[in-house]
Chain A
């Protein structure tokens, strides 16, 4: 028996599917997995002025702020990705997205602060900002929530499960299953990307975005991924989620950064009517030819 449900969370549709294990454990396991996603949404969301993230954005420039376990883990990961990418990944770029109207402007926040992840002083389960910052965890929170929900399903003893938060997905199972990526210019068409048994895929692209891509180059603020898409396959979804932005912003340095996380990237770009595929791992980028299915 397979159960598959979907609910709106994290600004997108979250689909959770599972099968195997004890029959009477399946439905409660999906309930708990959705509850986990809901809790992460409530804590890490930027839009809600009452979220833990919003409290942090209002207060952490003044004094230490105590963190929930989820927030402590995601902030630590955000700082690690920022360091590993020399600031290409920066959770402090929210002011650019507030300025473009893609994120709401909350009272009492540093809405015009310059991004600077190095000003985040993380000390275990507390944090303070060395100077005013406005953080948005949209670059990794979805991936984190996918991993957390999948862990609930794994602990419940399911044999197969997949969590897909609007395109950022992770799965485990006793068999490999094909994963697909949307065509960057015709998003209702799909290409098969890989067969995945245990792992995650995340994609960044500009389609589905009203008013431009939310991905920005950390130095220039320029939009990224407006005509192409970057997918990353990685052991977990938070890593895949973060790496899509890092690869998009600095493709030349992607090989070493992907290798460090045991990840691979696929870039799809349409050049004068032809879809080009580039694949990247620790060995570098290479072009892949593909066959149109009959």
Chain B
């Protein structure tokens, strides 16, 4: 790869983004686009939201070793060639700085077939734990394009852990075991 020796350097301190907006936000794809990406062979996606009973929620938390914040989970059954081909599960996780909406594709046996990030946003502080702050993005994941700056890509930094997504996928697998698995 060619290498421009004069690439550096004009560092300039950039003022932080306005406090009420996420420091960095990107919408990678809509729910519909993620469905097509993860199950290109599907004919249809049948909405099949899961609402766990308290007993089921306990079982999920025990199996996944993570706490469930909401007993409800948006889920679609995937149909291909007239047969069930798997499940499409929408989920969201948040950490200290980041709030991530993502989708998990499970095949007909319940094995993870893919994980795709839909939305990623970060902020300076406590906003992420505020349900009202999170709620303002609920429309976004269903297709509203977010207005994004073009100059906020290419951010280098220490590795952001995907621990919360790993935990989320574990929880989704436990939900499948408890509430989706076909007998």
A252 neighbours in B (Cβ, 8 Å): none
List residues 118-133 of chain B with CB under 8 A from any CB of chain A: 120, 122-124
The DSSP consensus for interface residues of chain B is loop
Q: How large is the interface on A (under 10, 10 to 19, 20 to 34, 35 or more residues)?
A: 35 or more
* Contact call B24/A188, Cβ cutoff below 8 A: yes
* Contact call A169/B156, Cβ cutoff below 8 A: yes
List residues 80-116 of chain A with CB under 8 A from any CB of chain B: none
Select the stretch in B4-12, B63-71, B136-144 that faces chain A: B4-12
Number of interface residues of B (CB under 8 A): 46
Select the stretch in A48-56, A121-129, A231-239 that faces chain B: A231-239
Closest to A240 in B: B156
| Residue A212 at the chain B interface, CB threshold 8 Å | no
List residues 157-207 of chain A with CB under 8 A from any CB of chain B: 162, 164-169, 171-172, 176-182, 186-199, 201-207
B122 neighbours in A (Cβ, 8 Å): 188
* Contact call B13/A164, Cβ cutoff below 8 A: no
* Contact call B7/A188, Cβ cutoff below 8 A: no
| Residue B162 at the chain A interface, CB threshold 8 Å | yes
* Contact call A182/B11, Cβ cutoff below 8 A: no
| Residue B135 at the chain A interface, CB threshold 8 Å | no
**Interface centre among B2, B7, B10, B97, by most A CB within 10 Å?**
B7
* Contact call A193/B156, Cβ cutoff below 8 A: yes
Using known A-B contacts A182-B155, A189-B16, A208-B161, determine if residue A198 contacts B116 with beta carbons closer than 8 Å: no
Q: Given the complex of chains A and B, what is the CA–CA distance between A195 and B152 in angstroms? A: 13
| Residue B20 at the chain A interface, CB threshold 8 Å | no
Residues of chain A having any CB pair with chain B under 8 Å: 4-8, 11-13, 15, 17, 142, 154, 162, 164-169, 171-172, 176-182, 186-199, 201-210, 225, 229, 231, 233, 235-236, 262, 264, 266, 275, 277, 279, 281, 288, 290-294
Q: Could you list 30 examples of A-B contacts with CB < 8 Å?
A: A4-B28, A5-B37, A6-B28, A6-B120, A7-B117, A8-B102, A8-B166, A11-B159, A11-B161, A13-B100, A162-B153, A164-B153, A167-B160, A169-B155, A169-B156, A176-B4, A177-B153, A182-B156, A182-B157, A186-B124, A187-B158, A189-B14, A190-B24, A190-B152, A192-B10, A194-B8, A206-B158, A208-B158, A264-B9, A281-B8
